Structure 1
């Protein structure tokens, strides 16, 4: 069985793991199997098979996609090299790093942390909870470490050249502590949820917590900018009590203390938190591992008060928006999958949280500068287009499922027109995921800006419908829920860039139409016609263009 360099590196810490009560030999075997399985999995990141003819040349698609993270890291470089106001610079750097890492952890790796499938095999063997949980965390940390290094690799080189070896060493150590802190904090949060909920309610709560976490990450990132004041082109840091709860500030403080010699009490306390909180979190998690694994079994418990889905309402909606029996069938099928499949929700729901909060983040920035009265009379309501940021990601994810092996059912059904499969699935996505968020956004925006924006909201909805079809059209075609989830989903990441530009262009045209009389109403008619035409033409798909898993 293939060995891995990362496992050979881990061997250097064998004594540490054994002191924690972990059976290192078994943990290593579990990690070895998991890494091999990751390499054999068809990764979402790359789109091709990860399997080569020679078994020794199995390649993990996640590692092949790390260059994309490297490009993201270029954004961080200016903050690293811009000067020597380290508390300001490095707080922003770690804020961006934590934002990207936590987003990826919540959407891509929560399913690994909450995985209970391997217990059916491992718990018939002499494997204890502590060893299994530690293997899970190390498995996640391996991917997070490579992802973090890919993002921070170019900034680290820039830091070494600009600020020297000591800065570079501090940066490296803090990245390690940051990754440990993020993983353990997420695990402890899930432990709290597992402790207090059961059955179906537990599964729903985990998904809601993911949305809340996504929102909290976005808001927390915005708080970093509020910590500093700009006066005469100088950035001023004024310590306040609440800053001790903003983690990126912790990681900025040691640079000031060690490199700038700032020995003031706030900086020393913040520096101590950088080391103490991650270490305390790790020991707390180790102590609570038995409780975590015990409560994790609740995910197998379907007793609890399961929410009864109102099939009558679903049938009425499907009859109203679907135009034939086949389309209605796949509308109901996709709706059930989106509502009930836990792994799909673990990966998709964080995107919903970001879509919900992003428009208000930008509005808040305008509100701070201009005030409420000026805001209400402005055209800032067009920021609601940020709600559409979720569309490409969710549409891309609709071809994946934890139960993808059931896709054989497509071959047994007497399907007359394959377009009905995609139409029904996309309409289920619009009704179940997009519309609830958009309705909430519209209600709040109407409260802020008044009923005058109602025609604009209709135009935005039509543009979202058009954008949905375009996203579907340009992405790789696969039958809904017919492919296995990969370790990550960066494979079609490059497609996201022009799609983001496109939604920006639609918003730009909308803004232009607001500058002259009846422009919005003209645009509304044009957008409606384009939506009808797009929905008629976009689904004329040949079977040759569809990925059919054998």
Structure 2
């Protein structure tokens, strides 16, 4: 029985479009009436759920006039303006040519942005086990649930793809021809479908391999590692330029082309402009075959995907073990039981905040990448690494780690379960200021100190003992900046709901504070690097942040939750 749309209610354009394909859903054992109802309320809840797509957007409830109206894409478009900026940049790149190399770079950049967005921003929707627990028990089969999930994600992926590709499509109409632009658009649509299914299949492999808490941790590790890899890949042009590596990509099949699937989809466009060659035929064949196999295989495992999502709802009953590093970092609180318990509590809460990891860990990885980009950019003279040892000023690059602090500290405000902190607010002996200080030290101990140790191990052999001293100095200044930012931007950690607009404004203000605090530190450190000055100046340089850290710590020591109003 076909669904008949009511004339009284305003409907989403997506639902109106899907109404035309009811028979296709029936062939896939999908109950269209149930599918439509699920999608309707998923789209409505997107405007209510503050955790939905928090990495890159916050849709406002003002986009809907009445509670029963489904939001259109207009509100989303207003919140995705910077994807449009990416699209303009991608389009401008095609002004320089539409060769095979240009198309390969376009598809590679498009893949990086789209794949990262799917992994980070859509993971909470793709991997939501509540659909089966809440909706599945009401007679909705797995095929219908999976179809609703897939269409829900595809709706937003399509909008992002439109913003990324639209400017390039218009430029190609003028730069090449309307026919070529249409072929380009078809190619991009197919590549978008392929990229989406590759992401889903990767998630399926992880779901199939791991269970429980280890599964959630592995998903988080996979997401963060890929985002760091993307950040590192964006710096490759600078590195290749310094190493005199050619940027031209020849349309010749190599063994590594098996995994270079952005190149597969550039081949048909290159063949249209020139002629079909054996290599281009192989590239195109892999594109067609990869797309067909990925779609068929996902449709085959779609029902299993829903069943495996139940693994995410399984929680381990084991009490997390306190590791050696955590015990070592709790040493400053060895004589204060309350502070030590606050520190361990903050450590455990931070371990469970996977959204925090997604927002913060890529930034930490990026700062390490930036340090080595500076080394390659300014430290290599004629391609000889020995020049690094003669350029002691490069030790100042370790201060790049300080620019991740605003992101680290500000995101401590937020939690996926902020209501839990309300319990502590009513405890008479709970000191919010002490808990905040313990949380700050937890972040420094858990994230900044390991990063500083990594930089010290990597840079000291290259730059000498100056790098080690500068690394210590940068770490001390990072602790100082952390206390300043936390003091003016956070009353109680893990007690607020994430909002992108508020986080961005706080991040901008605190980045300015970071620069102001770093200026004297970097200046003193630079003076100490002058050859005629010795260890004495370094000791003075290191002493300043220690004194400031202790002074700021003592000034905040007596403040409790009652003084915060």
Conserved? CA contact 2:194–2:291, under 8 Å = yes
The alpha carbon displacement at 1:36 in A equals: 0.8
Cα pair 2:212 2:311 within 8 Å, conserved:
yes
Q: Where do residues 230-249 of structure 1 align in structure 2 (5 Å cutoff)?
A: 235=248, 237=250, 239=252, 240-249=254-263
- Whether 2:174 is the aligned partner of 1:161: answer yes
1:131 aligned counterpart, secondary structure: helix
The superposition leaves residues 338-364 of structure 1 with CA deviations (integer Å, 9 ceiling, x where unpaired) of 113455545555555545555456656
Asked if the contact 2:11/2:70 (under 8 Å) is kept, the reply is no
Structure 1 residue 50 and structure 2 residue 61: aligned?
yes
Q: Distance in 2 between matches of 1:347 and 1:509?
A: 31
Q: Deviations over 1:276-322 (max 9, x none)?
A: 42332122112122332232222233459x58422787466345169
User: Are positions 1:211 and 2:224 aligned together?
Assistant: yes
8 Å Cα contact 2:107-2:266 kept in structure 1: yes
Partner of 2:4: none
CA separation of 1:125/1:503 partners in 2, compared to 1, >3 Å: closer, same or farther? same
Residue in structure 2 matched with residue 33 of structure 1 by the alignment: 41
Of 414, 419, 427, 1:405 maps to: 419
- Equivalent position of 1:199 in the other structure: 212
- Determine which of 497, 518, 542 is the counterpart of 1:524: 542
- In the alignment, structure 1 residue 271 sits paired with structure 2 residue 262: no
Change (3 A) 1:185 1:485: farther
Residue matched to 1:286: 299
Q: Give the Cα separation in 1 of the matches to 2:240 and 2:325.
A: 48
Match of 1:339 in 2: 351
Equivalent in the alignment of 1:455: 469
Deviations 1:476-529 (A, max 9, x none): x4743234457xx46544665676677678487588446524476554344445
1:250 aligns to 2:264 (yes or no): yes
RMSD of aligned Cα (Å): 4.3
Contact 2:452 2:471 in 1 (8 A): no
**Are the counterparts in 2 of residues 230 and 236 from structure 1 also a CA contact under 8 Å?**
no
Which deviates the most, 27-36 or 38-47?
38-47
Q: CA, structure 1 residues 370+20, in 2 after alignment: closer, same or farther (shift >3 Å)?
A: farther
Shift of 1:182: 2.8
Q: 2:332 aligns with which of 320, 333, 343?
A: 320
**Secondary structure of the structure 2 residue equivalent to 1:401:** coil
Q: Which residue does 2:85 correspond to in 1? A: 71
435, 452, 456: which one aligns with 2:449: 435
Q: CA contact under 8 A between 1:73 and 1:153: conserved in structure 2?
A: yes
Q: Distance in 2 between matches of 1:540 and 1:169?
A: 68
Gap change, CA 1:226 and 1:449, over 3 Å in 2: closer
Change in Cα spacing, 1:279 to 1:466, as seen in structure 2 (3 Å) is farther
Q: Match of 2:15?
A: 7
Size of the aligned set, in residue pairs, is 541
Q: 2:460 and 2:78 mapped to 1: Cα distance?
A: 46
**Alpha-carbon deviations, 1:233-282, whole Å to 9, x = none?**
99463633313422332343333222x22422223333344444233212
SS at match of 1:209: helix
Kept after mapping to 2: 8 A contact 1:130/1:289: yes
- Kindly provide the CA deviation profile for residues 26-60 of structure 1, in whole angstroms up to 9, marking residues without a partner as x: 22322221111110123656779635774257769
Q: CA 1:229–1:381 in 2, change beyond 3 Å: closer, same or farther?
A: closer
2:123 to 110, 118, 125: 110
Do residues 147 (structure 1) and 160 (structure 2) align? yes
Distance 1:199 1:234 in 2: 44
Comparing 534-543 and 149-158, the one that deviates more:
534-543
Equivalences for 1:365-404 in 2 at 5 Å?
370-378=383-391, 379-380=393-394, 382-388=396-402, 390-404=404-418
The verdict on how the C-alpha distance between 1:515 and 1:212 changes in structure 2, with shifts beyond 3 A counting, is same
CA distance in 2, matches of 1:473, 1:58: 41
Q: What TM-score, normalized to structure 2?
A: 0.79
In structure 1, the residue matched to 2:114 is: 101
Kindly indicate whether structure 1 or structure 2 has the higher relative contact order, using CA contacts under 8 Å at least 6 residues apart.
1
Kindly indicate whether the alpha-carbon contact (under 8 Å) linking 2:46 and 2:59 is maintained by their aligned counterparts in 1: no
The answer to whether the Cα contact below 8 Å between 1:381 and 1:449 also exists between their aligned partners in 2 is yes
User: TM-score, normalization: structure 1?
Assistant: 0.81
Q: Which stretch shifts more, 27-36 or 147-156?
A: 147-156
SS in 2 for 1:237: coil
Structure 1 unaligned spans of 5+? none
Assess if the C-alpha contact under 8 Å between 1:79 and 1:90 holds in 2. Answer: no
Contact 1:137 1:183 survives alignment (8 Å): no
Distance 1:244 1:229 in 2: 28
Q: Could you tell which deviates more after superposition, 360-369 or 129-138?
A: 360-369
Distance change >3 Å, CA 19–CA 186, structure 1 → 2: same
Whether the 8 Å CA contact 1:229–1:235 is kept in 2: the answer is no
Q: Compared with structure 1, are the counterparts of its residues 209 and 536 closer, same or farther at alpha carbon in structure 2 (3 Å cutoff)?
A: same
Aligned-residue offset at 1:367:
6.7
Cα distance, 1:343–1:118 mapped onto 2, change above 3 Å? farther
After TM superposition, give the deviation of residue 454 of structure 1 in Å.
0.5
